[in-house]
Amino acid sequence: MGSEDFYPEERPVHQVHVDGFWMDTHPVTVAEFRRFVKDTGHVTVAETAPDPADYPDADPADLVPGSLVFTPPSGPVSLDDYRQWWSWVPGADWRHPEGPDSNAGGRERHPVTHVAYSDALAYARWAGKELPTEAQWEFAARGGLDRAIYVWGDEFAPGGRHQANTWQGSFPWQNLVEDGFPGTSPVGSFRPNGYGLVDMAGNVWQWTTDHHTADHGASGRNVAPASPCCIPRNPRVEAAVRRDGETYPRRVIKGGSHLCAPNYCLRYRPAARQGDTEETSTCHIGFRCISPEPRTD
């Protein structure tokens, strides 16, 4: 696991043993998540208004159902201010990916987004499955390739052919869409890895069960600084931090997304890792499930 060649939180390279498991071929789709909601009546975090008593210092405008949505600026902006491209949008959720005036129609085969960690966990339990650990996820993503930079090898676009849904151009304003997708893409739009798994790089970040630490050798819950491209600050959590003065636990997300660009967030690699607070939902985070290998004894 890990890499010494990119971001500090990916260090050190180390060996990990994992037991056998099955992983879903692709991230959970909008259609699959819709069946779960229909069967259980589940209401996602993004669809739930926070209790004002829990956030006494928060802006009331933030204490409504909503989620974080990416909106590209019209031209170059400073990469030091994520607010130039991330917005808290009331009414944004898995059914309304860009806000209340949008809908997920026609995206049934796209990965579901705007799901917090607890939403992903609830789906997994309903499906009789689990969310992967970081080690399980990275092992599966590598597809049998040892130390390769990408899921598919060491060359980003072999033969000039894009292998994943990522950002081409100058983030956050210029998306050249050379891979054919300005946002999320239907699962399986790109070739599978060596284990037959699709979308293990790009498209959407994916939740894992591990708490995020500053590096692979760290213990506890020290949270490393993170690029706001991948980890926009959740205003609900910010309000709680101001109130309690605590560091809220983050879970590791893996895989990068369609918003990852070499000039800002080169994280569509199996070793790449980031942490996000469990309450956060965005337009570029989804998940997939695993099933432990059945015992034969």
Per-residue pLDDT of 164-175, as tens digits, reads 999 999 999 999
Q: How many CB atoms lie within 10 A of CB 39?
A: 9
- The confidence band for 280, taking pLDDT boundaries of 50, 70 and 90, is very high
Q: What is the pLDDT of residue 232?
A: 62
Beta strands in 167-264 (DSSP E): 205-211, 250-254
- The confidence band for 225, taking pLDDT boundaries of 50, 70 and 90, is very low
What single-letter amino acid sits at 169?
G
Per cent of the chain over pLDDT 70 is 88
3-state helix, strand, coil in the chain (%, to 5): 20, 15, 65
Per-residue pLDDT of 160-210, as tens digits, reads 999 999 999 999 999 999 999 999 999 999 999 999 999 999 999 999 999
Per-residue pLDDT of 42-61, as tens digits, reads 999 999 998 888 778 778 87
Return mean pLDDT, the chain: 90
Which stretch of 58-72, 216-230, 276-290 has the lowest confidence by average pLDDT?
216-230
* pLDDT average, residue stretch 143-158: 96
> Is pLDDT of 235 > 70?
no
Q: What is the pLDDT of residue 222?
A: 39
DSSP secondary structure code for residue 22 in this structure: E
- pLDDT, greater one: 227 or 146: 146
- The confidence band for 242, taking pLDDT boundaries of 50, 70 and 90, is very low
- The confidence band for 247, taking pLDDT boundaries of 50, 70 and 90, is low
> Is pLDDT of 136 > 90?
yes
DSSP three-state, residue 223: coil
* pLDDT average, residue stretch 245-258: 83
Long-range residue pairs from 71-76, CB within 8 A, at least 24 positions apart, any chain: 72/172, 72/173, 72/175, 73/172, 73/173, 74/173, 75/173, 76/170, 76/173
- The confidence band for 213, taking pLDDT boundaries of 50, 70 and 90, is confident
> Is pLDDT of 151 > 90?
yes
Per cent of the chain over pLDDT 90 is 78
Give the C-alpha separation, 64 to 237, whole Å: 13
Give the C-alpha separation, 81 to 118, whole Å: 28
- The confidence band for 62, taking pLDDT boundaries of 50, 70 and 90, is confident
- pLDDT, greater one: 240 or 103: 103
* pLDDT average, residue stretch 270-274: 95
Give the C-alpha separation, 10 to 12, whole Å: 6
Give the C-alpha separation, 267 to 289, whole Å: 21
Report residue 292 CA to chain centroid gap: 22
